[in-house]
Every structure is written in C-alpha cells, then in structure tokens.
Amino acid sequence: MSRAYERIAGDLRSRVRAGRVGPGDRLPSERALAEEYGRSVSTVRQALAQLTAEGLLERVRGRGTFVRTPRRRVVRSNDRHQWAKDRARQGAEERARTGSTEYETGLGKDRLVFDATYEQIAADADLAGAGGLAEGTPLLKRTYRTRYVAEPYPFNIARSYIPRELLAGNPQLLDEASEPYPGGTTAQLDSVGIEIDRMVEHVTARPPTYEEAGELGLPPGTSLLAVRRLSIDTEDRVVDIADTLLPGDRTELVFTTRLTRWEAR
C-alpha cells in the first residue's frame, strides 16, 4: 500500500475495530494526526473523508472527529400486511385506536408525527409500467412522512399511487382531510370494494441523492433503502404502487416466507 492516505485510513480503521477507540470517542485533531503520521493535513483529511464515507466516523465542525454510534433500528416486518388486513374489517373504534406504524415501532401516537398530502397526477412511463396501466392514467398521489416527535427528520417517506378510477365509489378518499383514515389504505380500498390478495415488494439499496439526503437528514456514509410495493387485489390488478424511502442506518426490513409442508414420505 504505497498511498499515505490509505495507510492512515487503514491504521485508524484498525484502531476502531480493535476497540482502542469506541463509539462516541473523539479522535485526535487533523493537525495532531498530520504531525503523528508525518503527513500534510490534506492527506490526513483524505483518509478521514474515506472513513466517513464508510460510515465509521462522524465529523463535527468545531468539536472534532468521532467514532460513529450506531442508531437504533426501526424494524419493518411483512407480518404487518396481514395484521393491517385483519384490522381493516374490525370496528371503527378499534381501527381508529391503532396505526400500522405504531404496530411496527411499538410506540404510541404521542411519540410519532404523521403528515399526509394528496395530489392528482397522471401516470408517467415508470408508474404505468409498474402498474400495467396506460401512460397518462389519472392517479391519486399520496405522500406520507413519519417521524419521531423528538427528531427533526422523518425516518420514512412514502409515496403511494392509486388509479383514480378505482376510487370513484367513495369521493372522501380523494380528500387529504380524511387522513389519518382509520384502518389505513386497506380499509380505504375496502370501502370501494377492493380486497388485497398479496403484496409484492421490490427492495433496492443505493446512496441517497443530494435531495434525499437533505429530506431524511442522512449523514454521509449512509445508504438508502428504496422499496416499491405493489398491492395486488383478488382480481390480479395492481391497485396501489407505494414507493418508500428508508434510511439504511436505522431500518431493518424483515420478511417471513412460510413454506408448504412436505407430504409424508
């Protein structure tokens, strides 16, 4: 390894891994490290930038360079789909009492803040392709943001697209003032006679765009989980396309796949 900044990065990396500096600890300053390794400050900065991009360090102006402390993860399990479907057919009081995100996080409404906005749009090529629709099909676009009361940034941004034609039977569904709708999307679709048969979720990971990093308050060295979920009804139509963005450093997705039993041999 002939590059000075890689030697420095490698050395600092092993200091962290060996536990000689732990989460939250401060590293020596740029100038001190430059002195220690006999290199210029710029070279040390390059090493520190690499470790920051790896998610190992966190740099704070005026305070110093710290070993990043892992954030507590929010678990999202696909069990919630069945839970939500069962709930949608329960009494209105029961539906109003609980929400899907509360179910996931185990937290009450007083600890979480939701935000919903509705728009009417036309399907672009991407959405049309995903939903098996013609381009230009009128859609209801709903945007949801969920965050902890105590935190400034949402831990979840979701955009849902539903063909407007499907919602004709219940005009209330086009009005964002109905949110939070008791029983969620499953109950909303039930109100116009739609039953969901299955959810198909497409999971990808990538670095956040500049705008996404801003919206979600993602520090450098964090990945983004992007989930596109298709809700398919009992007539095999795509009745909802939901794109969800989740911070990679605080999300764990859990999927349980149940298998049919073997016949006795």
53 lies in the binding site for DNA (CB under 7 A): no
Residue 253 near residue 156, CB atoms below 8 Å: no
Closest CA to 73 of 206, 256, 221, 246: 246
d(CA 88, CA 85): 5
42 lies in the binding site for DNA (CB under 7 A): yes
One character per residue 4-23, x = contact with DNA (rule: CB under 7 A): xxx-----------------
Q: How far is the CB of 265 from a copy of itself (least distance, A)?
A: 8
Amino acid at 55: G
Q: How far is the CB of 138 from a copy of itself (least distance, A)?
A: 26
Site for DNA in 64-123 (CB under 7 A): 64-65
> Which of residues 3 and 111 has its CB atom nearest to DNA in the complex?
3
Amino acid at 223: S
Site for a copy of itself in 191-250 (CB under 8 A): 195-210, 220-225, 234, 248-249
Site for a copy of itself in 40-59 (CB under 8 A): 53-55
Site for a copy of itself in 156-175 (CB under 8 A): none
d(CA 22, CA 185): 44
Strand partners, 75: 252
Dig out the tokens for 215 from the structure.
């919206």
> Which of residues 65 and 146 has its CB atom nearest to DNA in the complex?
65
Q: What angle do CA 241, 242, 244 make, to 5 degrees?
A: 155
> Which of residues 88 and 218 has its CB atom nearest to DNA in the complex?
218
Site for a copy of itself in 86-115 (CB under 8 A): 89
Q: What angle do CA 196, 201, 202 make, to 5 degrees?
A: 150
187 lies in the binding site for a copy of itself (CB under 8 A): no
* Interaction partner, residue 102 (DNA, a copy of itself, none; CB < 5-8 Å by kind): none
Q: Which of 12, 43, 155, 156 binds DNA (CB under 7 A)?
A: 43
Range in contact with DNA (rule: CB under 7 A) among 26-34, 106-114, 123-131, 189-197: 26-34
Burial class (CB in 10 A: 0-12, 13-18, 19+), 149: exposed
Dig out the tokens for 227 from the structure.
């989930």
Closest CA to 76 of 38, 113, 102: 102
Task: Count Cβ neighbours within 10 Å for each residue of 250-264 and write b for 16 or more, e otherwise.
Answer: bbebeeeeeeeeeee
List contacts with DNA (CB under 7 A).
Answer: 2-6, 27, 29-32, 39-43, 45-46, 48, 59-65
List contacts with a copy of itself (CB under 8 A).
Answer: 9-10, 13, 53-55, 73, 78, 81-82, 85, 89, 195-210, 220-225, 234, 248-249, 251-262, 265
